């Protein structure tokens, strides 16, 4: 038996440490450890509830809009808002849709693809593409820094020169598409990152005809890339060289999947582009987000928190302690009805399959599962890509609706006449963020926030053990995974990255005595 420690897991957002116990070449136990503390909830206590939208967005540079959205909904619920102006709902969907279309190819090409490609074969490239020739030269002279370090390629790494060259070209195009998607979102929400349009009660900007036209033309570019490059590449790899890995148990975890419902199609709280549901042990047990919310708890048995175990998010405290011998993570352990739940694209599509959603992307994943693809590492990439097709279709539909409402004379984007934060109340906001189910819980007293709690997508997936000793979803997905070479744990990073974890919704916590603080002199002034 041996211990393998990967710290930090590179090419994810934020700092995550994975420890694995390997017995006879297979992981027999695993520990997922978030090594940063967040603390943003504590900053919100005593503040105007409307501040939460902007403050919580600063958790992260990727999923900020999801936090703003969840926060606005939580404060709206506390106020008693039942219905938003339809234009506001459409614009929120379009802003967030653009953020998702930025995020998905980023994860596949820039964070994950190097787990599956042997870039060294590019030293044999004989073509004329100037970018590839430049990369060839960087590889030849040992300067390919941005594309390295990487693990030693194993049997699942693609070594076919043409295929690797094609994927690297897509990698470079995806960099440009990130900028296009960001620009698209900024047209509707002021700026990127950290949007400034979604506020409690609605949105702040009704885009004019020119802005709507610009948004649509950028959407055309991104949609073309999503359909013809990104999804095509994922399908090409997943059903070709990676099919063996896709049919293996690598990365298969609990058969527990959760989705709060993503992108509302109306104000009922039940009708979403990505349908809501909880699957436990392979069976769909709940479809109502309101019912799901009541069964959410967070354990802190193995987390560096002082507070009591297993409470509902409304009742959670946010006080840290490092003086807890068994604790190993700054992440709490969220549970649904006591169960660890996988969240994210695969969970959403498994719920969509269980709810018999008719989109062709859902049908494609159903077919792959029928052909023996398991709900593991490769399936997570496939689901993330297929889901992008659903978002693209939704965005064209919401844009059409926006145009027709505006043509009918609708201009209402905010319930300005009636919307004031309440003196007291409490509310929760559930949304789907790119990485999975995200919830904010707000308690308001004397017109300020008395308590604020966030259960973030990655907290579900990367959670530590709970009071019952149940491991978190990433830990479970690692157990049983082959690590034939202890010095090259490539399967560990493949499995972890397939969840697209983001620990960056956090800030560094330094220990006042054991952490080394470096003093830097800048132009004569001193900074710590
Ligand atoms: Ni910081 Fe986020 C996470 C997403 S919020 S990237 O995890 O997606 O749930």
For ligand 1, the distance from its centroid to the CA atom of residue 445, given in whole angstroms, is 28
d(CA 493, CA 497): 6
Residue 83 half-sphere exposure toward CB, CA atoms < 13 A: 5
pLDDT of residue 522: 42
Work out which ligand 1 atom sits closest to the CA atom of 66.
Answer: 5
Between 226 and 38, whose confidence is greater?
A: 226
Residue 19 in 3-state DSSP?
Answer: strand
Checking if the pLDDT of 150 tops 70, the result is: yes
Give the alpha-carbon dihedral of 355, 359, 365, 367, to 10 degrees.
Answer: 90
The predicted pLDDT at position 518 comes to 41
Q: What is the mean pLDDT of residues 326-348?
A: 96
Considering the entire predicted model, what is its pTM?
A: 0.94
pLDDT band at 513; cut points 50, 70, 90: low
For ligand 1, atom 6: residue with the closest CA: 63
Average model confidence (pLDDT) for the chain? 92
Q: How far apart are the CA of 135 and the centre of ligand 1, in A? A: 32
pLDDT at 526 over 50: no
| Strand ordering across the sheet containing 2-6 | 2-6, 16-23, 26-34
> How far is C-alpha 390 from the chain's CA centre?
17
Give phi and psi for 23, each to the nearest 5.
-120, 120
**Cα of 459 to ligand 1 centre, how many Å?**
9
Whether the predicted pLDDT of 506 surpasses 80? no
Q: Which of 291, 266, 263 is nearest to 278 (CA)?
A: 291
Sign (positive or negative) of CA dihedral 399, 405, 408, 411: negative
Which residue carries 């700092």 as its tokens? Answer: 15
- Tell me: the pLDDT tens digits for 296-326? 999 999 999 887 767 899 987 778 888 899 9
Ligand 1 geometric centre to CA of 502 (Å) = 6
Report CA(220)–ligand 1 centroid distance (Å).
Answer: 26
Choose one of 16, 63, 499 to mutate for the ligand 1 pocket test, by most ligand atoms within 8 angstroms of C-beta. 63
- Supply 29's token pair: 């136990």
3-state secondary structure of 419: coil
Residue 63 Cα: closest atom of ligand 1: 6
Q: Which of 121, 187, 133 shows the shortest CA–CA distance to 159?
A: 121
Using DSSP bridges, classify how beta strands 425-433 and 436-445 pair: parallel, antiparallel or unpaired: antiparallel
Question: Token pair 């020119």 is at which residue?
Answer: 210
DSSP 231: I
- Please list every protein residue whose CB sits less than 6 Å from any atom of ligand 1: 13, 60, 62-63, 66, 433-435, 438, 456-458, 502, 504-505
**Ligand 1 center to 435 CA (angstroms):** 5
Question: Which residues make beta-bridge pairs with 451?
Answer: 443
Output the CA–CA distances (angstroms, integers) from residue 241 to 213, 227, 229, 247, 477, in the order listed. Answer: 41, 20, 17, 12, 22
Q: Are strands 202-203 and 198-199 parallel, antiparallel or unpaired?
A: antiparallel
In three-state secondary structure terms, 127 is coil
Question: Cα separation of 412 and 272, whole Å?
Answer: 22
Nearest-atom number in ligand 1 for the CA of 504 is: 1
Between 56 and 316, residue with greater pLDDT: 56
- Mean pLDDT value across residues 454-475: 96
Closest ligand 1 atom to Cα of 435: 8
Question: Which tokens go with 427?
Answer: 């509310």
Token duo for residue 337: 């009805």
Q: Among 45, 48, 44, 46, which residue's Cα sits nearest to residue 58?
A: 44
Q: How far apart, in whole angstroms, are the C-alpha atoms of residue 270 and residue 87?
A: 19
Helix (H) or strand (E) holding 27: strand 26-34
Does the pLDDT value for residue 225 go beyond 70? yes
Q: Could you give the CA distance from residue 457 to residue 59 in angstroms, rounded to a whole number?
A: 13
Sign of CA dihedral 508, 95, 66, 6: negative
Atom of ligand 1 at shortest distance to CA of 505?
Answer: 1
SS3 339: strand
Please give the number of the atom of ligand 1 that sits closest to the Cα of 434: 8
């Amino acid at each position: 038996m041996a211990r393998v420690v990967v710290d930090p897991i590179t090419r994810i957002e934020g700092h995550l440490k994975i420890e694995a116990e390997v017995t006879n070449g297979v992981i027999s136990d695993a520990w997922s450890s978030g090594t940063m503390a967040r603390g943003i909830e504590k900053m919100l206590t005593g503040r105007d509830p409307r501040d939460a939208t902007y403050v919580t967005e600063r958790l992260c540079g990727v999923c900020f809009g999801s936090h703003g959205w969840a926060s606005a909904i939580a404060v709206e619920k506390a106020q008693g808002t039942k219905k938003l102006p339809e234009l506001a709902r459409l614009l929120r969907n379009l802003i967030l849709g653009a953020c998702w279309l930025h995020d998905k190819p980023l994860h596949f090409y820039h964070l994950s693809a190097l787990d599956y490609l042997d870039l060294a074969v590019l030293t044999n490239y004989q073509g004329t593409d100037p970018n590839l020739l430049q990369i060839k030269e960087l590889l030849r002279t040992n300067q390919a820094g941005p594309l390295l370090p990487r693990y030693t390629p194993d049997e699942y790494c693609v070594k076919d020169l043409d295929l690797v060259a094609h994927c690297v070209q897509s990698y470079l195009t995806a960099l440009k598409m990130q900028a296009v998607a960001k620009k698209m979102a900024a047209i509707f929400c002021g700026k990127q990152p950290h949007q400034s349009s979604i506020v409690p009660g609605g949105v702040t900007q009704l885009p004019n005809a020119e802005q709507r036209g610009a948004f649509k033309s950028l959407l055309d570019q991104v949609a073309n890339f999503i359909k013809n490059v990104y999804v095509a590449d994922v399908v090409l790899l997943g059903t070709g060289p990676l099919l063996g890995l896709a049919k293996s148990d690598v990365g298969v975890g609990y058969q527990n999947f959760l989705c709060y419902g993503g992108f509302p199609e109306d104000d009922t709280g039940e009708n979403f582009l990505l349908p809501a549901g909880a699957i436990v042990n392979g069976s769909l047990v709940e479809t109502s987000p309101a019912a799901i919310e009541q069964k959410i708890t967070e354990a802190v048995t193995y987390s560096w928190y002082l507070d009591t175990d297993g409470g509902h998010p409304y009742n959670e405290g946010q006080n840290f302690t490092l003086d807890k011998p068994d604790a190993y993570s700054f992440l709490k352990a969220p549970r649904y009805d006591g169960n660890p739940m996988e969240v994210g694209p695969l969970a959403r599509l498994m719920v969509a399959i269980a709810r018999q959603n008719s989109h062709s992307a859902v049908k494609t994943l159903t077919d792959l599962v029928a052909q023996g693809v398991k709900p593991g590492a490769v399936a997570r990439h496939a689901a993330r890509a297929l889901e992008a097709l659903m978002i693209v279709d939704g965005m064209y539909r919401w844009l059409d609706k926006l145009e027709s409402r505006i043509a009918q004379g609708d201009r209402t984007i905010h319930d300005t006449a009636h919307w004031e934060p309440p003196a007291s109340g409490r509310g929760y906001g559930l949304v789907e963020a790119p990485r999975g189910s995200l919830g904010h819980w707000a308690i308001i007293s004397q017109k300020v926030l008395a308590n604020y709690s966030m259960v973030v997508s990655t907290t579900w997936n990367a959670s530590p053990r709970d009071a019952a000793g149940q491991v978190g979803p990433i830990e479970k997905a690692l157990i049983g995974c082959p690590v034939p070479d202890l010095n090259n744990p490539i399967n560990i990073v493949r499995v972890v990255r397939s969840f697209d974890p983001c620990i960056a919704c956090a800030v560094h916590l330094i220990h006042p005595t054991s952490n080394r603080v470096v003093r830097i002199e800048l132009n004569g002034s001193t900074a710590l």
